[in-house]
Amino acid sequence: MRLKGKVAVVTGAASGIGRAIAVRFAAEGASVVLGDVSEGGREAAESIRSAGGEALFVQADLRREAEASGLVRAAMERYGQLDVLANNAGVSGGRTVVEADESDWERIMDLNLKGAWYCCKHAIPLMIASGGGSIVNISSTHAFRTQPNHFPYQSSKAGMIAMAAGICVDFGKHGIRANSICPGFIETPLAEAFLSQFADRDRRTQAMLASHPLGRFGKPEDVAAAAVFLASDDASFISGTRLVVDGGRSALQKSD
């Protein structure tokens, strides 16, 4: 019950990492507001309540500032405070810097980075009024160790790390902490869609597994466990940093 008495907003909470974070936050005692553009978030909230947790679903398109503001305000209106914001909503994909066009940039940046900014912009005053809080940005190892054809995705994820650092510096005096989690390859619906595009999926999967010293891919619950730590008082002196959750992949330098 490390989050008992806290109120948390989780974006992109209908499935994958976001849903795992919302479920884990609730299990740790938090009242959770789940935000997602998909109606699947409603079912996720109902599942939390069925398990004895406290949850509210708010449908929101975070590319629109008014909807992002409404999402975080809903936490204050329902529960009277806001203590934790987990910025998880995002899309992947991309091209090279040369091949990408303005629509690629806007599609990814508008949700991954601008949506997270909107949520932070409107959540921080509510957190200050609540006596402080913790912001957890779900970035990616692509922010510092990327692959071909991932622009502007990797730029959006690097921006999330930089934004958390700026929040740490600007609002630490108000009791606001901000950190980033950088997941590696996590078994989510997006990851499944990525693998399914390859005719030689089995060979590619085995090659990817060989790059993980722990011998497995990550699960959404692995990221959720890290998010609980950073959101909780156990991390009360941790701010402005990044936590890599990738099974050791970024530490491995292949000999061949």
Written as one string, the DSSP assignment of the chain is -TTTT-EEEEESTTSHHHHHHHHHHHHTT-EEEEEESSTHHHHHHHHHHHTT-EEEEEE--TTSHHHHHHHHHHHHHHHS---EEEE------EE-TTT--HHHHHHHHIIIIIIHHHHHHHHHHHHHHTT-EEEEEE--GGGTS--TT-EEHHHHHHHHHHHHHHHHHHHGGGTEEEEEEEE-SB-SHHHHHHHHT-TTHHHHHHHHHHT-TTSS-B-HHHHHHHHHHHHSGGGTT--S-EEEESTTGGG-----
Instruction: Please tell me which residue in 25, 79, 118, 153 is annotated as part of the active site.
Output: 153
Q: Is residue 210 part of a domain?
A: no
Q: Write out pLDDT tens, residues 96-128.
A: 999 999 999 999 999 999 999 999 999 999 999
What is the pLDDT of the chain when averaged over all its residues?
A: 95
Q: Is residue 188 part of a domain?
A: no
pLDDT of residue 256: 60
Q: Is residue 170 part of a domain?
A: yes
Length of the chain as a residue count: 256
> 121: domain CATH number?
3.40.50.720
Q: Is residue 200 part of a domain?
A: no
**Cβ contact 244:250 at 8 Å:** yes
Q: Which residue has the higher pLDDT, 204 or 34?
A: 34
Q: Is residue 131 part of a domain?
A: yes
Q: Is residue 77 part of a domain?
A: yes
Q: How confident is the model at residue 255 (pLDDT cuts 50, 70, 90)?
A: low
Q: Write out pLDDT tens, residues 125-138.
A: 999 999 999 999 99
Q: Is residue 111 part of a domain?
A: yes
Clarify whether 153 is annotated catalytic.
Answer: yes
Q: Is residue 190 part of a domain?
A: no
Q: Write out pLDDT tens, residues 161-205.
A: 999 999 999 999 999 999 999 999 999 887 787 778 888 888 988
As a whole number of angstroms, the distance between CA 144 and CA 162 comes to: 12
CA distances from 71 to 4, 6, 55, 95 (A): 21, 16, 13, 31
Q: Which residue has the higher pLDDT, 57 or 193?
A: 57
The parent domain of residue 164 ranges over 7-183+218-244
Cα angle, residue 67 at apex, residues 64 and 70 outer, rounded to 5°: 150
Domain count within the chain: 1
